Amino acid sequence: MSTLYISTVGSDITGDGTLDNPYATINKCLEVCTDGDTIKALSGTYTINSTINITKGITITSNTGINTDVIFTSPSTSIFNIQSNNTSITYLTLQGTTWMFYPVYKIDSTPNESNIVVFLTNNTLSNCIIRYIINGIFLDGTFNVLNNTFIRYGQDTDDASIINIFTCRNTCNIKNNTFIDSESVRYIIGFTNNFTVPTNIHKAHSKGGIIDIADNIVNYTNTGLSTCFIKFDYFNVYIFPDGPDESYNYDTRLSLLVHNNNLSFGYYSDTFNIATLDDISYHMFALTEIYNNTNNFTDHGALHLDIKTGVFSTFITISQIDLDRPIFYIHDNVLSSGNI
């Protein structure tokens, strides 16, 4: 395993990737590095005009290990698109500077825009500052989001969604992150369907395993918009591009552990909101435990079961199988107001 260096005054032509003679871009490093290598960015601001596709299992970090020393900024596109297993993006500032739908960081489940979904594993975003306009990050496969700070760079719309989860497998972690802002945000963690992928091929119902959402701090002071900490919206919609997918298993279920999160809002909020779409909306859940969370300003308590009126049927019938098994275990939460 080797280490390559980039610098704002480096060169992809005359550089050799050493500390004394660094390259200028990560793309140049990707041409010569192999799985397990590390790319270190020297202090400075790097403007990214075209998304960097990470196709190898590498680490990208700042040379100093301080996340404010290296800034990757993009005026019009995502910064990192993960297309490999075993990547680590750490100790950087990633920011989108103009209005855009694209997140600053995303894990790509359809890297070739094919109808075959690839569940990438062991990809980690940690110790970074994420500054976004609309969407912070997109997640798929098996992921870890740890010790990051999320803050809006500016506000063009209220409907910001910070962490968007489209698929999940095995054990995933969203832990020890800080979400702080005076701007309004609609959803902090959203489980949803990626309708923007070309030809709508995204397998949003490809889920399973465990997601541990723990020890996060939320501090929003905006007083004009209600915010949802965790939102399920269209996550159980399954799209068949060319007919049923042989690998899809209706009985694959997702377990959530939501615990020890400290939530502070300036306006009404939901801790956990599920938008009910159809009769199988709850079948997707294995045992979900919500415990030891605090929320200073909630009107819907720890769990809010919603109905997508005007989109799907208003009347939902939960199957007897799901009625006969435990789905939600809610205990030891401290809520300032509202009911379960």
Residues 27, 88, single domain; the answer is no
Identify the pLDDT of residue 222: 76
Residue 128 located in a structural domain = yes
Dig out the tokens for 27 from the structure.
């793309």
CB 66 within 8 A of CB 90: no
Counting beta carbons within 10 angstroms of the beta carbon of residue 41, is it exposed (0 to 12), middle (13 to 18) or buried (19 or more)? buried
Residue 74 located in a structural domain = yes
Residue 97 located in a structural domain = yes
Residues 114, 20, single domain; the answer is no
Reported confidence tier of residue 59, pLDDT bands at 50, 70, 90: very high
Identify the pLDDT of residue 277: 59
Residue 246 located in a structural domain = yes
52/50 Cα distance (integer angstroms) = 6
C-alpha closest to that of 300 among 320, 275, 329:
275
Sequence length of the chain is: 340
Residues 17, 141, single domain; the answer is no
Residues 9, 80, single domain; the answer is no
DSSP letter assigned to residue 286? -
Residues 88, 22, single domain; the answer is no
213/107 Cα distance (integer angstroms) = 18
Radius of gyration of the chain from its Cα atoms, rounded to whole angstroms = 21
Residue 214 located in a structural domain = yes
Q: Which residue has better confidence, 235 or 50?
A: 50
Q: Residue 68 is part of which domain span?
A: 43-335
Residue 36 located in a structural domain = yes
Place of tokens 């609609």: 186
pLDDT at residue 185 greater than cutoff 60? yes
What does the pLDDT look like over 203-232, one tens digit per residue?
444 567 899 999 999 998 877 777 889 888
Pairing of strands 80-82, 171-175: unpaired
Residue 51 located in a structural domain = yes
Cβ count near 189 (within 10 Å): 26
Partners of 327 in the β-ladder: none
Residues 28, 63, single domain; the answer is no
Residue 340 located in a structural domain = no
Residues 288, 298, single domain; the answer is yes
Cβ count near 81 (within 10 Å): 19
What does the pLDDT look like over 254-304, one tens digit per residue?
889 999 999 988 777 778 887 765 556 677 788 889 999 998 876 666 677
Q: Which residue has better confidence, 208 or 133?
A: 133
Q: How many domains are contained in the chain?
A: 2
Residues 50, 101, single domain; the answer is yes
Reported confidence tier of residue 123, pLDDT bands at 50, 70, 90: very high
pTM of this structure: 0.90
Residues 15, 155, single domain; the answer is no
56/4 Cα distance (integer angstroms) = 14
Place of tokens 């294995």: 286
Burial 156-185 (b: 16+ CB within 10 A, else e): eeeebbbbbbbbbbeebbbbbbebebebbb
Residues 50, 167, single domain; the answer is yes
46/70 Cα distance (integer angstroms) = 8
- What mean pLDDT value characterizes the chain? 82
CATH number for the domain including 213? 2.160.20.10
Identify the pLDDT of residue 313: 46
Average pLDDT estimate for 193-210 = 54
Residues 13, 131, single domain; the answer is no
Residues 117, 23, single domain; the answer is no
| Strands of the 217-220 sheet, one edge to the other | 44-47, 70-74, 93-96, 129-132, 149-152, 178-181, 217-220, 262-264, 294-295, 334-335
